[in-house]
Amino acid sequence: MADEIGFDDFMKVDIRTGTIVEVRPFPEARKPAHIMLIDFGDELGVKKSSAQITVHYNADDLVGRQVMAVVNFPPRQIGPLKSEVLTLGFADENGDIVLAATDKKVPNGQRLM
């Protein structure tokens, strides 16, 4: 378990819902990955993210799927891509990533509470 934090620390991490609107291949990535364009609604717009989720998800399965992402980290350069948000997931028993998502659709851009 990580060190205990206060509620104010938690509130510094801005986790929002978004819908994947486009998925592209990322052949330059060291490990197999997808480039995703995720719509976070009017306030944040569409952001790019790279994710190593190719074991459980192909591009066609991802479009239209709602995901959760940290939207207030600084952009991260991943090879030729500037990833603007960190898409969230959990490792399965083999270490492959399963996306974190709500169990019902919510408006894009909603913040995790």
CA–CA distance, 74 with 89 (Å, rounded to integer): 19
Would you say 36 and 23 are in contact if contact means Cβ atoms under 8 Å apart? yes
Chain centroid to CA 93: 20
Neighbours of 43 (CB within 10 A): 9
State both tokens at 40. 């976070």
pLDDT (0 to 100) of residue 59 = 93
Q: What's the sign of the alpha-carbon dihedral 33, 99, 18, 112?
A: negative
pLDDT (0 to 100) of residue 83 = 97
User: Is the whole-model pTM more than 0.85?
Assistant: yes
Which residues lie across from 83 on neighbouring strands?
76
CA–CA distance, 104 with 44 (Å, rounded to integer): 21
State both tokens at 86. 């960190």
Positions of the chain with pLDDT lower than 70, given as ranges: none
pLDDT (0 to 100) of residue 52 = 94
pLDDT (0 to 100) of residue 43 = 96
Beta-strand ranges (E) seen in 27-80 are: 34-39, 46-51, 66-70, 76-78
pLDDT (0 to 100) of residue 41 = 98
Summarize pLDDT for 73-92 with one digit per residue, the tens: 999 999 899 999 999 999 99
pLDDT (0 to 100) of residue 51 = 95
